[in-house]
């Protein structure tokens, strides 16, 4: 008798989630299918809050398109940008692991598509698949390494700090293009928040880097022709 139990066509949004996020690569099909079964995909405009500080972490989010700013505020209420993440990255995993309220906000910088899965499904995957746990540990190690580098550069000159901010963005989400590595040409206020410099200082530093031929800017894209050359000016 012919087997009537045929596999249902995969939801296109779930297919894109699996193909876009490196975290799922190499995991058993059954485990990935189970954890993404309740995935919800939404498109957001720029400047839309995805996660709010102090909210409970009921979901883990995966960025399929766009850029998202992770921010908090200091005691004086000044905004601090902790990270900018993009396509293929995970957001909201810390609150899911610790079962505590979220410690940061997540806000879209560009039109962004995000897929979310229930936090309990994410944690269950980590418990059953060792490779998933390794992937998450690697992600956290990468973010800690980036943070340590930025802290070391706090005493450097402004040009070095702006250059390192661009390298930080390129390392996380840079794409190869005809003119070199491409990253979004973010507003200077965002680069100011990441580097800890005044916006006017960021503007002057970008102009110097452009004059030296180390970067090139269009309306939406910032190009880095040679990452090594840009890194060599950091003191």
CA distance 94 to 102: 8
CA distance 184 to 124: 35
Q: Which pLDDT value is given to residue 48?
A: 93
Q: Is residue 6 in some structural domain?
A: no
Pairing of the two strands 90-91 and 59-65: antiparallel
Are residues 125 and 25 part of one domain? yes
Q: Which residue has the tokens 């070095």?
A: 160
- For range 222-235, the mean pLDDT: 90
Q: Is residue 4 in some structural domain?
A: no
Percent of the chain with pLDDT over 70: 95
How many residues make up the chain in this entry? 235
Domain termination site, one of 151, 178, 200: 151
Nearest Cα to Cα of residue 161 among 172, 173, 169, 150 = 150
Are residues 36 and 144 part of one domain? yes
Are residues 90 and 46 part of one domain? yes
- Pair of tokens at residue 50: 């995805």
- Model confidence at 6: pLDDT above 50: no
Q: Is 189 exposed, middle or buried, given 0-12, 13-18 or 19+ CB atoms closer than 10 A?
A: exposed
Q: Tens digits of per-residue pLDDT, 106-164?
A: 999 889 999 999 999 999 999 999 999 999 999 889 888 877 877 777 778 999 999 98
Number of domains in the chain: 2
Q: Which residue has the tokens 């899965």?
A: 117
CATH code for the domain of 61? 2.60.120.10
Pairing of the two strands 67-73 and 105-108: antiparallel
Are residues 28 and 131 part of one domain? yes
Are residues 195 and 94 part of one domain? no
The boundaries of the domain holding residue 204 are 155-232
- Model confidence at 217: pLDDT above 70: yes
Cβ-contact 177, 220 below 8 angstroms: no
- Segment among 41-45, 77-81, 231-235 with least mean pLDDT: 77-81
Cβ-contact 28, 129 below 8 angstroms: yes
CATH code for the domain of 198? 1.10.10.10
């Amino acid at each position: 008798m012919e087997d009537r139990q045929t596999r249902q066509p995969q939801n296109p949004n779930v297919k894109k989630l699996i193909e876009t996020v490196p975290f799922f690569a190499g995991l058993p099909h059954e485990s990935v299918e189970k954890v993404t079964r309740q995935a919800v995909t939404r498109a957001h405009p720029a400047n839309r809050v995805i996660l709010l500080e102090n909210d409970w972490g009921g979901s883990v989010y995966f960025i399929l398109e766009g850029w998202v700013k992770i921010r908090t505020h200091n005691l004086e209420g000044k905004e601090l940008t902790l990270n900018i993440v993009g396509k293929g990255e995970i957001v909201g995993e810390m609150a899911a692991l610790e079962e505590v309220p979220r410690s940061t906000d997540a806000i879209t910088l560009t039109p962004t598509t995000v897929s979310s899965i229930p936090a309990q499904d994410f944690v269950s995957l980590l418990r059953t698949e060792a490779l998933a746990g390794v992937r998450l540990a690697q992600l956290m190690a990468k973010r800690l390494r980036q943070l340590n580098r930025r802290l070391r550069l706090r005493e450097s000159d402004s040009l070095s700090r702006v250059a390192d901010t661009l390298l930080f963005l390129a390392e996380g989400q840079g794409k190869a293009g005809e003119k070199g590595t491409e990253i979004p040409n973010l507003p200077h206020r965002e680069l100011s928040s990441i580097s800890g410099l005044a916006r006017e200082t960021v503007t002057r530093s970008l102009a110097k880097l452009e004059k030296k031929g180390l970067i090139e800017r269009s309306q939406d894209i910032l190009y880095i022709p040679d990452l090594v050359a840009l890194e060599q000016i950091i003191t």
